[in-house]
Amino acid sequence: MRMSKMGRWFEKFRSVPHRQPGRTHLIIGDAHAHPDHDLDRFVWLGRMVADIQPDIVVSIGDWADMPSLCTYDRGRKGFEGRRYIKDIEAANEALNLYHRELGPYKCDHVWTVGNHENRIDRATEYDAVLDGLITLEDLDFRRRGWEVVPFGIPISIDGVAYGHYHTKGPMARPISGQNHARNMLNKLHHSTVAGHSHFFDVAFDTNVMGERLQSLVVGSYFGHRESYAGRNNWEWWRGIVVLRDVIDGRFDIETHEYDRIRRTWG
> Structural domain tally of the chain?
1
In a domain, 2, yes or no: no
Q: Of 185 and 232, which is predicted with more confidence?
A: 185
pLDDT digits (tens, 9 = 90+) for 151-192: 999 999 999 999 999 999 888 899 999 999 999 999 999 999
User: How far apart are the C-alpha atoms of 57 and 146, rounded to whole Å?
Assistant: 9
- Residue-level pLDDT at 80: 45
In a domain, 10, yes or no: no
pLDDT digits (tens, 9 = 90+) for 84-115: 999 999 999 999 999 999 999 999 999 999 99
In a domain, 155, yes or no: yes
CATH of the domain at 222: 3.60.21
- Residue-level pLDDT at 147: 98
How many CA atoms within 13 Å lie on the side-chain side of 151?
17
Four-residue CA torsion sign, 48, 89, 142, 154: positive
Mean pLDDT of the region 8-25? 71
What does the buried/exposed string (b/e) look like for 158-184 if buried means 16 or more CB atoms within 10 Å of the residue's CB? bbbbbbbbbeeeeeeebbbeeebbbbb
Q: Is 104 left (phi over 0), alpha (psi -120 to 50) or beta?
A: alpha
Mean pLDDT of the region 142-148? 98
- Residue-level pLDDT at 2: 57
Identify the domain containing residue 249 by its residue range. 20-265
pTM over 0.85: yes
- The end-to-end CA distance of the chain, in Å, is 65
